[in-house]
Amino acid sequence: MSKVNKYEAIIKDKYESYTEEERFLSKHQRVEYLTTMKYIEKYLQKGMKIIELGAGTGAYSIELAKKGYDVTAVELVKRNLNVLKQNGKGIKNLHAMQGDALDLTKFADNSFDMVLSFGPMYHLFNEKDKMQAIKEVLRICKNNGIVMFAYLTHASIVWAYGVRNGYIDKLQYAIMDNGAIKDVPEEIFSSYFIEDFKKQFKNLSIKHLKDVATDSLFNEMRDYVDQLSDEKYEMLLDYHFKTCERKDMQGVSSHMLYIGKKL
C-alpha cells in the first residue's frame, strides 16, 4: 500500500474488476486514443526517452515502444500491470513497473524527454495531491521536455454518468452553484473546468502549448457513433481532428489533454 496516496484502495477496487484493455475497442472510445496518439506524434523526436504514468494495460506505452522509443510504463493497479507486461512481453525497450504518480522518487530529476500523465489526474481529490502529481511530472521531465496531462471535464460526469446512466438525481448533491462537480473519492473520478485545470500551472516552470478535446461528443453520442460505417466514422473523425483545438468546441468533451513544455 502506498504511503502517499490514501485513496489507493478505492482506485484499485475500481480497476481490479474493470477490463481496462477493452477501453479503446469501440468506435466512440477509440477516438480518444487516436487523437491522443496524433498529438503525441506531433512532439516525438528521435531518441526520446518517455515515461507514461497511469499506463493502464499499455495501449500508449506498448505502441510507443514498438516505434522504437525507450518507454517506462508506471501503473498503480496490479491487474492492469500484469496485462501490460503480458502484452508487452519481448519488447526490450519497454520497462513496466508498479508505482504511484504521487511518489516518483525512484526516478531522478530531469530523466525523461516526454512525460505522459494519462490516468492520475482522474483520481486525485484534493489540491495538495493534484499539485504533488503535477510537480513530480515536471521534476522528472528534462528542460524543454514535453508533458501531457489527460483529465476529465465536469461535463463528462453530468452527461455520461448523470444523463446516460440515469443518475442525474443522485448527482445533484455533488453539483456546486457554479456547475463544477465536487471531488468525492467514493465516486472514483475527479473532474475539472478547462480554465481551472490550467490555473494549476500558473506559477510553475512550464509553457502551455495546447489544449485538445480528445473525444468531443463521441462518448455521449456513442449509440450513434458505434453504428456508423467505417467511411462515415472516418468523416466524423476528420471533422473532430479539425476542431479539437477550438476553445468553443472543447467544454463538453469528456476527456481533455493539456500539453506543455517544461522551462
Nearest partner of 190 among 231, 156, 164, judged by Cα: 156
**Helix, coil or strand: residue 24:** coil
Query: Average pLDDT for residues 236-250, to the nearest whole number?
Result: 97
Residue type present at position 209: L
pLDDT digits (tens, 9 = 90+) for 126-165: 999 999 999 999 999 999 999 999 999 999 999 988 998 8
DSSP 8-state class, residue 204 = S
CATH of the domain at 145: 3.40.50.150
Cα separation, 37 vs 21, in Å, equals 16
Residue 56 lies in a domain: yes
DSSP class of 107: S
Residue 233 near residue 27 (C-beta atoms within 8 A)? yes
Number of domains in the chain: 1
Which pairs with CB-CB distance under 8 Å and at least 24 residues apart come from 2-7? 2/76, 2/100, 2/102, 2/103, 3/103, 4/100, 4/102, 4/103, 4/132, 5/76, 5/100, 5/102, 5/103, 5/129, 7/123, 7/124, 7/125, 7/185
Q: In the beta sheet, which residues pair with residue 141? A: 112
Across-strand partners of 104? Answer: none
Residue 1 domain flag: no
Residue 17, pLDDT > 90, answer no
- Is 187 a domain residue? yes
**156-171 pLDDT, tens digit each:** 999 988 998 899 999 9
pLDDT of 4 reads 58
Decide if 163 is inside a domain: yes
Stated as kind and residue range, the H or E segment containing 37 is helix 27-43
In a domain, 3, yes or no: no
Asked whether residue 109 is assigned to any structural domain, the reply reads yes
Does 220 reside within a domain? yes
pLDDT digits (tens, 9 = 90+) for 26-58: 999 999 999 999 999 999 999 999 999 999 999
Q: Is 156 helix (H, G, I), strand (E, B) or coil?
A: helix
For residue 149 the three cell numbers come to 496531462
Percentage of residues of the chain with pLDDT beyond 90 = 86
Query: What does DSSP say about strands 49-53 and 255-262: parallel, antiparallel, or unpaired?
Result: unpaired
Residue 2 belongs to some domain of the structure: no
pLDDT digits (tens, 9 = 90+) for 72-107: 999 999 999 999 999 999 999 999 999 999 999 999
Helix (H), strand (E) at residue 262: strand 255-262
Angle subtended by helix axes 59-66 and 27-43, to nearest 10: 50
Tell me what pLDDT residue 5 has: 67
**What is the domain range of residue 21?**
8-262
DSSP, collapsed to helix, strand or coil, labels residue 211 as: strand
pLDDT above 50: residue 1: no
